[in-house]
Structure 1
Amino acid sequence: MKTRSTPIALALALLAPMLGTGAVAHADAPAAATATRSGNAQPLADDAQRVMALQGAWNVRSFAGLQGSRGPIPANAFIRTADLGRLTAADRDALAAAGVTLDIDLRTADEQTQSPDLLASDDRFDYQRISLMGTEKMDLPKMMKSFPDSLGEAYVQWLGHSQPQFKQVFQRIAAEKDGTVLFHCTAGKDRTGIIAGLLLNLAGVADDDIVHNYAISAHYLEGQPKDSAMNAQMMELIRQNPEIGRKMAGMAGTAPENMEMFLSALQQQYGGAEGYLKSIGISDAEIQQLKARLGQAG
């Protein structure tokens, strides 16, 4: 599904979480509570094993123990996270101790300039930036000319719009034979969430578990700083055009239906993640390497 509004959809998926608007899960809600269809979700007790507590990063989680078609995903397969521009020295040491060897930065060049990834200059980690948006510069006024109907729609459009970038990401992951692969964007929920969704679907994780894994991001993003230069520019646009703020208010969270829409389109249009990866040029050998990393070889 590729439409003229696709670049706008991708931009909003990026920018909405930076503003901290929209429904966000309440920190003091019961741990086992799940939100309504239009809200976000709270973590369950089982989610705690996947959380990595860092001082300078938010929404840092592995896939440890999520059940794939051939068994649980290993704890050292992947780490997903948000912006890494505030990592402490202790945080970097902790990521190295966790076995991270590769850091894939899904952000634009603009974002990297405004908040440099602090693993990029640490020689313990290989660093590769692949802008999943397919653009490197954020022209906010131009991006605000039209809007998608929902984040879910933006995610579906992404599958068509950013195929060369998806190919780069998954080929780079497949080439990393050892160590833990970390991937991140700014908020760690949209670009990062889609890569996570594709990996988990490839592993054979149940849709309900993939949706939950996505939906709890809003909870783990509470308290993430929103003081970037891009955020200030966006706030000025909203002051000048209040309708932009009203539209984006519903796009800042991680409502379950966003990932449900994405997974439904992934299945209907491509037959699932494996079909999608093959359609964009990922080889059978690379797919098997991805499955092996996910603990689903054979």
Structure 2
Amino acid sequence: MNASHPVTLSVAIALALSSWIAAASPQAAAAAPTTAPQSAAPAVRNVQPLADDAQRVLALEGAWNVRTFAGLQGRNGPIPAMAFVRTADLSRLTDADKDRLAAAGVALDIDLRTGDEEQQSPDVLAKDPRFDYQRISLMGTEKMDLQKMMTSFPDTLGAAYVQWLGSNQPQFREVFQRMAAQRDGAVLFHCTAGKDRTGIISGILLDLAGVPRADIVHNYAVSAHYLEGQPKDSAMNVQMMALLKQHPEIARKMAGMGGTAPENMEMFLDTLHQQYGGAAGFLKEVGLSEAEIHSLQVRLGQAG
């Protein structure tokens, strides 16, 4: 990544930290001084899944937040069950997990993480010949240099997601063009927690399908529930812990950016529609052709 995108790098690091702090950890809380003001915001309870969400969960032993779009209603009917699979980190998949994904029809695995993240926690599908693997760093950077962390973060995750729409358009184009080019099988996409980068790619796809706004927001918001218990023992997390001990003020700010509060996706969708006219307008803006957008709509079952 070149020096002309410092804000993007700061957002990348902020999201890595917020994803880690959100899950965690008595250790993360301990990184901040015990003299924190008593008026600090209370922890937000995770949005709980509804009965209808169960049909979308793909239970695996070694991955968290693994879900399809099955049954979500688009403008022309429900989205096919195995059009897309969204998930978190895939470095802990068992052989049985890989077999289940293959049996479910997953053909393409798009890894949205940086090169650093992939090296710390390799995607085990990358070396399995049954899957076509492609890594496209949605952040527009390959390194997350925690020693160069900037202090000017957005105030909310929603604001960070909005920044992406303007600053990372080449990466969005590459992701959606690769999805559009996949004719057969299911397309899986993931990041580390499966809630931020994965969450906004999901939001764009669901908006393109014409899924009601409330359902898009809910689909995002339940990620925090499905991430409960996700391990946080990677080498990158060790670096983050050391950084937080040195800069407890960062821990306090990032703690307020964790989770998947519905208002984050609300803010993202507001901007998507106000600035681009919705997902289709955004995809045209970043360089997708009408044919490519149509291919995505076909995959989503909405090409009528």
Smaller-chain TM-score bracket: over 0.9
Question: How far apart in 1 are the matches of 2:278 and 2:149?
Answer: 30
- How far is 1:21 from its partner? 4.9
Match of 1:207 among 190, 203, 213: 213
Percent identity among equivalent residues? 71
- How far is 1:227 from its partner? 0.5
Residue in 2 that maps onto 1:69: 75
Structure 1, 42-51 or 10-19: larger mean CA deviation = 10-19
Structure 1: stretches of 5+ with no match in the other structure: 24-35
Output aligned runs, 1:246-285, within 5 Å. 246-285=252-291
Match of 1:102 among 96, 108, 111: 108
- Does structure 1 conserve the Cα–Cα contact (< 8 Å) formed by 2:191 and 2:197? yes
Match of 2:134 among 116, 128, 132: 128
Residue in 1 that maps onto 2:37: none
Question: How far apart in 2 are the matches of 1:238 and 1:201?
Answer: 37
Residue in 2 that maps onto 1:13: 15
Matched residue SS, 2:124: coil
Output aligned runs, 1:104-119, within 5 Å. 104-119=110-125
Residue in 1 that maps onto 2:167: 161
Question: How far apart in 1 are the matches of 2:299 and 2:78?
Answer: 11
Which whole-Å deviations, capped at 9, do the CAs of 1:133-190 have from their partners, x for residues lacking one?
0000111121243211100000000011110000000000000011000000000000
- Does structure 2 conserve the Cα–Cα contact (< 8 Å) formed by 1:42 and 1:216? yes
Question: How far apart in 1 are the matches of 2:78 and 2:224?
Answer: 24
**Structure 1 ranges of 4+ moved more than 6 A:** none
Structure 2: stretches of 5+ with no match in the other structure: 26-41
- Does structure 1 conserve the Cα–Cα contact (< 8 Å) formed by 2:111 and 2:134? yes
Output aligned runs, 1:119-198, within 5 Å. 119-198=125-204
TM-score (normalizing by structure 1) = 0.92
- Does structure 2 conserve the Cα–Cα contact (< 8 Å) formed by 1:22 and 1:253? no
Question: How far apart in 1 are the matches of 2:22 and 2:75?
Answer: 36
Matched residue SS, 1:258: helix
Q: How many residue pairs align between the two structures?
A: 285
Match of 2:48 among 42, 50, 56: 42
- How far is 1:22 from its partner? 7.9
Residue in 2 that maps onto 1:217: 223
Matched residue SS, 1:169: helix
- Does structure 2 conserve the Cα–Cα contact (< 8 Å) formed by 1:201 and 1:210? yes
Question: How far apart in 1 are the matches of 2:135 and 2:276?
Answer: 26
Matched residue SS, 1:120: helix
